[in-house]
Structure 1
Amino acid sequence: MEILKDLQARGLIQQTTDEEGLVKHLREQTVTVYAGFDPTADSLHIGHLVPALMLKRFQQSGHRPIGLIGGGTGMIGDPSGRSDERQLNDEQTVQYFSDRIKQQLARILDFDQGENAAIAKNNADWLGNLTLIEFLRDTGKHFGINYMLAKDSVQTRLENGISFTEFTYMILQSYDFLNLYEKENCTLQIGGSDQWGNITAGLELIRRTRQNGEEANVFGLTVPLITKADGTKFGKTAGGAVWLDPEKTSPYEFYQFWINTDDRDVIKFLKYFTFLTMEEIAELEQALETAPEKRVPHKRLAEEMTVLVHDEAALAQAKKITEALFSGDIKALNGKEIEQGFKDVPTTELVKEEKALIDLLVEAKISSSKRQAREDIQNGAIYINGDRQQALDYQLSEMDRIDDAFTIIRRGKKKYFLIKFL
């Protein structure tokens, strides 16, 4: 299936500047396509996955992707999709963030695939060398104030105010497209629908700077901003953003995010994020309709995404933790898996020594008092590493420590507590 037809079938095209021309362009040659990623944190989050995976889809179709890291524009701040100005980071921080993002893009794109191997660029390499006078004379003169004010990214900020710094962001992103067009023969920019104004501004700059009436065969394409059926923001959980960095969002948490997808969203997300064929997705949609309780498409989505962003070993670990928590077999987990699976439960740190269970329950605020602790034990409400414990005189020892570091106490059916031994 041609790349644009596949993207349309998946609902991944919001806007194109010239759909008919782009179809012809993609059929006739290997096209260089880019998407930008500003380094506003030390990790990408799942909101960045759609443009990153769009690059991967184009690469799999024989085209050449560029992952553009905004080491320069990241010093300015993109006003698109925001109601207030970003907090600016210093140059050293932005460079560190840029290096981390480059590493993450290398997990998604193939940088060693012959003629259409992906490349990573950092716009600090050219924006950082521009002088103010050069920028204003050669680039700024092509942008009318009325033209810029009409763009949605600026319009939505006028009421709350926009600084001149952020106002120039559109010009800087346009300069990126011009630079990549001239140096890398890049003729297609993709981004979220909130980037439409910046993308079309780049096309206009390229056309305006052509010499002797030369035509510029360049295009823009946007993907829809992702929304969830329940109205909440995609990619956010009670604990914050879902990051691609396993140190910020563990593979288990990542897997759980996807497996808990709303039934109303799961098929859409399979189309957006996975590389399953439309026929495979149709079968999963049928499984959802005939046996929703089995959550077959949810499991497949979680598996595909965990392997894509992490690897098979991370998926196996995430599934192991999930099964252990479901079955109550906590002792099947090792220390690292305990840390992942119980990252967000109430945690108490203790020294390594024997301690009466009753005293521990009170100290860790699992039971409100010694009297309540005795009742909880006698009523069979207390579990140590998955095993019920009803002995009032029970002493916790090193035998109860997983990897000599952790003990999991459960009170009732679902209330977990982590004891971490120092």
Structure 2
Amino acid sequence: MAKHETPLLDQLESGPWPSFVTDLKEQAATKPECWDILGQLELSYKDRITHWKHGGIVGVFGYGGGIVGRYSDVPEKFPGVEHFHTVRVAQPSGMYYTTKNLRDLMDLWEKYGSGVTNIHGSTGDLIFLGTRTENLEPLFWDLTHDLGQDLGGSGSNLRTPSACLGESRCEWSLYDAQEACHQLTMMYQDEIHRPAFPYKFKFKFSGCPNDCVAAVARSDFSVIGTWKDNIRIDQAAVKKYINNEAGYPANGGAHKGGPWDGKFDIQAEVLDLCPTRCMWMEGDELKINDAECTRCMHCINVMPRALRPGVQKGASILIGAKAPILDGAQFSTLIIPFVEVSAEDDFQGLVDVIEKVWDWWMEVGKNRERVGETMQRVGLPTFLRVMEIDPLPQHVREPRSNPYIFWREEEVPGGWERDIVEFRKRHAA
């Protein structure tokens, strides 16, 4: 395949950062179709439109998801990307790979595809970028039979669940995020591989409120580790932070060079940055009104040797995040503040909520409507009634502006009929 002139793409190599253009040119030495990738992209830059077309559904026998079809609309110019399908490979929980596993995966992709990968994109899957239709079945056979791995999710199904490192490496993890992710991935294989939902649905598991997988921004169902009781305080360590003693750098020393360079200032760096202002000093003791704490983790991150999460560990469940496809991006909404999360009961507390959401969404959701958009369309009060959850003040986004109140019959003691009869009696008198 011929090398293409790419003056627009070449500009991307001129900056100080590594460029995918350079990587693709190097890959073209052994995979000539990469020249056609660059050539088609250069043409898209000139024409200001994409030159990938949908081209129909493509996949492997028995699966409706896992492979994203890509076809060029100018195959006569770039025959190397006439077919250029994306294969999603389910990642291990927490994205732990052995070096052998990675080498085997790369050897497989060198054999059947372009050798171009994306590890890891926002989907969570390991992405193989670019192969022909006739390679899909043999690639799938070798992947599943020789490597013991499976395809991830694509289409209107459950997307491949993903989790942070959890208890394996993080001291803040408040439940076993990796085990929860693994078990639910195994439980819902059919929902991953055979699309049956109104649109895509994503689980993401973060072991603590730092939310290192950005579940609150990107997943339909976020499981965020939290605690139910009070933050644990080591007052002696608080004093050492305030006195800037050796071995007690705030935030691991990350504040050096920041807006408070120099000595640690607990007022500026912790108390004033608490979103609910639930912290204060009484003399040389730190006080916390835990009833107002939103578990943001900021104070714990800044003073990790003085503050720790509580001992009653579990998770919060938030529902409804999405990217800006229809009505704009939105974060997920806190629905269940605390639920116990345990492998001992096969994570039944999570499963019950998941399946209740699915039953409702599959009934009332429109085609290509994320669950967050369905919630937005019908209103949060309706969703909370479906989930049998009592409203909380935190569910209120803004004060009510509609002057009319519409009561449901069951909300009025005695019902409407009695009230009407009483009104008529008074009016007649």
User: Per chain length, whose mean CA-contact separation is higher, i.e. which structure has more relative contact order (CA < 8 Å, sep 6+)?
Assistant: 1
Q: TM-score range by the shorter chain?
A: under 0.3
Choose between structure 1 and 2: higher helix proportion.
1
For normalisation by structure 1, the TM-score amounts to 0.23
Q: Give TM-score, length-normalised by structure 2.
A: 0.23
